[in-house]
Structure 1
């Protein structure tokens, strides 16, 4: 169960994610410096669309259900 007091769904429209994903970095999403450095060492330069949509909610300790294409 969510810690949220609201039963309303908070979703991020796919179109919004697609328009913004060129400028978003792990650091801008609020990922710690240690994890940003690890991502850089793994050559993960940009977060995926599902990470862009989900991480802000995860950092607020919200429940998340995500669906994404895999490579």
Structure 2
């Protein structure tokens, strides 16, 4: 997959609401975010967990709330 293809997918998702309205793209070993920074990655990770996209692929740790709070100040 090229960056151009990923970009077009993310643009399409802006209209469909997927992946926080195209704010991120993910595969099993990669997450691409439109915005840099910890807060953006925390939002993407939270969305993947809440939507069930990565159910069983990761372990949610007890520290999760502390990380999300720190990311959003």
TM-score by length of 1: 0.24
Larger relative contact order (CA 8 Å, sep ≥ 6): 1
Judging by fraction of residues, say which structure has more strand: 2
TM-score by length of 2: 0.24
Judging by fraction of residues, say which structure has more helix: 2
